[in-house]
Every structure is written in C-alpha cells, then in structure tokens.
C-alpha cells in the first residue's frame, strides 16, 4: 500500500513539474512585462505556444541528420528525468536514490551535450556560434556546480538530495559561511545554466548575442515545442533545487499524510512565485554582459564554491 502511495506521489511529481514548468515561464514573462509597464502576454501563453507548435508541420533543413530529429526527445527525456528527481513538495521520493545530485547535474550535462550537437548538425554559422559559446559557459558552470555539491554534501554528509534537504531543514545546521557562499554560487550558476540575463537573453533574436537561441535556430514545430518545454523544465528544476536546499520549509518528509502534502504543495507554489518574481526583478534591473565577461562571472562562482568547500575541509563548523 505504502509503495503504491509512494509511486503515486512520484508520478504526481513527474506530472506536476511538466505542467507547472510553462506556467513558471509565463509568470516570469508577465512580471517582467509589468515591471516594464507593459501588459504582457497572458499567463497561459506558453501553453498556447506549445500547442500551436505541436500542430504545425516540421520544416527540416535539407541536410539535417537522424541525430537532429532524435535530439529533442533525448534532451526532453534527460531534463524531465532530472526534474522529477528534485524534491518539490515532498522529500523521499520513491526513486530519489536512483540518482544523487551529481547524477542529476550530469543528466542536465547530457541534455546540453546533445543540444550542442544539434546546433552543429545543419552546418550553419549561427548554430556553431551558439554551440561553441554554450560549451564555453558549461565548462565553467559545471565545475562550479560540482563545488557547490561538494559543499552541501560535506555539510549534510550525503549527496542524496532528499537526505540533504532533510538535514538542512533540521535545526542542526544553523547559519554557516560556507552555505552562504554556496547559495550565491548556486544562483549565479542557475542564471548561466538557464540562459537568463546577464549571461544570455531568452527573448533575444539579435544574432550575435544569442547562445541558447542560436543553437535551436533550425528547430521548428513539435521539435521546437519539446526544446522549449525542456528549457522551461530546466528553469523549474533549478528553482526547485534552490528552494529545497536553501528554503526547505514546508517540505513534507516521506510518510507525511494528505494534509501535510497539501501544505507542502501550497508552500512549493509560494516558493515558485517568489523565485519567479525575484528572477524577473533581477533581469529587468541588469544589463546583459559581453560574452567574454561571462567567464569572469562564472569563474567567480567557481571560486566561491571552491572557497566554501575549502572552509569545510578546514573546519566542519564553518
């Protein structure tokens, strides 16, 4: 019985992230528009876009290979699996032990690997520019993320996300310098990974500033829909990750009843709302930086992560 319940929760989580992801994207767009004193598109616009893209035919470049057609499914699968393993409203998900935080980050790495290949497949210069910049950004963002994981794992004594969240919500942690550094680094990495301002601009179609958009330039129809959905999922994943590690209040431990689950769900929605609004506020208040400033930005994140890890190696209580 308990297993069936757990299975149900895990299934609900998979469905929840899939359904909420476009809404989060729509919400940030809306808040951003309101901050710029525009009315902005309605909240459900991303869903409408997805449906419209799904209905349209795919226009495929003449020399696109089988890899180009398979890639959207691979990218979507890797991102969706990763997103379903991050606790949203309940820890101790049924399958959370099948991949720890390192594996989740590596799954996102797989998605990026195939996305970068997709950018090179048609053999256009814009695809190439996007891919080469994306791997440059990833080459610094990934080690920074690993350093953040080291910090958290050393504090919690585990690389399992559920265990980490459970430990961080307990009062045993307290305020720590290393946690502060890790949070700052994680936010910087999340901004870079999700192609947000100031690293990349999700709304741009100015050729020379594109990174993510340049890689997916040749995609259309259902392929593009899957890629867009994956991008939304990734944003949701990172916000859930930050929320479950640094604001784990309201997370329901495994075995919690339906009432607790309801509270946890409401808390999760509240966290997403706050995070989405903060992201929009941050993006409207800052300008995009030049591509070759990005390594400095991410290098700082890497150094913060390394410093936090070093502090913990020196003393367990810092």
Partner 1 sequence: MVLLALACAAVLISTAALAVVVSDEARAGLIVYGVCLIASLALFSIALLALLGISDRPSAATLPLGIPWLGAHFRLDALSAFFLAVVNLGAAAASLFALGYGRHEDAPRRVLPFYPAFLAGMSIVVLADDAFTFLVSWEFMSLSSWALVMAHHRVGDNVRAGYVYLIMASFGTLALLLTFGLLAGADGGYAFADIRGAHPSTAVAASILILALIGAGSKAGLVPLHVWLPLAHPAAPSHVSALMSGVMTKVAVYGFVRIAFDLIGTPAWWWSMVVLALGGITAVMGVLYALMQHDLKRLLAYHTVENIGIIFIGLGLALAFKAHGMAWAAALALTAGLLHVFNHSIFKSLLFFGAGAVLTSTGERDMEHLGGLIHRMPQTAFVFLVGCAAISALPPLNGFVSEWLTFQAILLSPQLPSWGLKFLVPAVGALLALSAALAAACFVKAFGVTFLGRARTPAAERARETDRFSLAAMFFFAALCLVAGILPGFFIDALAPVTEGLVGDRMPVQGSVDWLSIVPIAEGRSSYNGLLVFAFMVLSGALAAWAIHRLASDKLRRAPPWDCGYPDANPATQYTASSFAQPIRRVFGSVVFHAREHVEIPPPGDGRPARLTVELRDPVWDALYAPIAGGIAFAADRLNHLQFLTIRQFLSLVFAALVLLLLVLAIWP
Between residue 104 and residue 163, which ones bind partner 1 under the rule CB under 8 A? 106-107, 109-110, 112-113, 116-117, 119-129, 131-133, 135-136, 138-143, 146-147, 150, 153-154, 157-160, 163
d(CA 130, CA 214): 5
Binding residues for partner 1, rule CB under 8 A, total 87
The verdict on 238 binding partner 1 (CB under 8 A) reads no
Site residues (CB under 8 A) for partner 1, limited to 66-85? 66-67, 73-74, 76-78, 80-81, 84
Whether 132 contacts 209, CB under 8 Å: no
Q: Report helix angle 221-246 to 66-84, nearest 10.
A: 20
Of 39-47, 101-109, 181-189, 259-267, the window that binds partner 1 (rule: CB under 8 A) is: 101-109
Token match 């080459």: residue? 139
Phi-psi region of 174 (alpha: psi -120 to 50; beta: other; left: phi over 0): left
The residues, any chain, with a CB within 8 Å of residue 55's CB and separated by 6 or more, are: none
- Supply the minimum distance, in Å, between the C-beta of residue 281 and partner 1: 30
DSSP state letter for 211? S
Among 177, 242, 300, 310, binds partner 1 (CB under 8 A): 310
Is the Cβ of residue 254 or residue 284 nearer to partner 1 in the bound state? 254
Site residues (CB under 8 A) for partner 1, limited to 40-69? 54-63, 65-67
Is the Cβ of residue 154 or residue 263 nearer to partner 1 in the bound state? 154
- Supply the minimum distance, in Å, between the C-beta of residue 97 and partner 1: 5
Q: Give the Å distances, CA to CA, from 233 to 14, 76, 288, 294, 309.
A: 11, 9, 23, 23, 29
């Amino acid at each position: 019985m308990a297993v069936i319940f757990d299975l149900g929760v895990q299934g609900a989580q998979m469905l929840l992230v899939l359904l909420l992801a476009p809404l989060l994207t729509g919400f940030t767009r809306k808040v951003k528009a309101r901050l710029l004193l525009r009315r902005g598109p309605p909240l459900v616009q991303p869903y409408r876009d997805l449906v419209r893209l799904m209905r349209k035919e795919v226009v495929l470049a003449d020399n696109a290979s089988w890899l180009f057609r398979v890639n959207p499914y691979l990218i979507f699968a890797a991102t969706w699996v990763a997103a379903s393993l991050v606790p949203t409203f309940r820890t101790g998900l049924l399958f959370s032990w099948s991949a720890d935080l390192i594996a989740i980050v590596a799954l996102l790495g797989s998605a990026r690997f195939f996305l970068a290949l997709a950018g090179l497949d048609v053999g256009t210069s814009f695809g190439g520019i996007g891919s080469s910049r994306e791997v440059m950004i990833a080459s610094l963002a990934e080690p920074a993320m690993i350093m953040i994981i080291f910090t958290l794992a050393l504090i919690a004594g585990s690389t399992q996300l559920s265990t980490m969240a459970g430990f961080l919500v307990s009062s045993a942690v307290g305020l720590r310098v290393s946690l502060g550094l890790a949070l700052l680094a994680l936010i910087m990495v999340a901004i870079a990974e999700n192609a947000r301002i100031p690293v990349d601009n999700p709304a741009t179609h100015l050729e020379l500033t594109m990174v993510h958009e340049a890689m997916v330039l040749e995609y259309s129809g259902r392929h593009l829909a899957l890629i867009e959905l994956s991008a939304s999922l990734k944003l949701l994943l990172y916000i859930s990750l930050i929320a479950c590690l640094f604001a784990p209040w309201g997370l329901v431990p495994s075995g919690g009843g339906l009432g607790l689950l309801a509270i946890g769900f409401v808390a999760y929605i509240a966290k997403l709302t706050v995070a989405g609004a903060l992201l929009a506020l941050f993006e409207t208040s800052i300008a995009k930086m030049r591509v070759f400033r990005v390594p400095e930005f991410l290098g700082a994140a890497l150094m913060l992560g390394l410093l936090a890890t070093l502090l913990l190696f020196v003393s367990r209580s810092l």
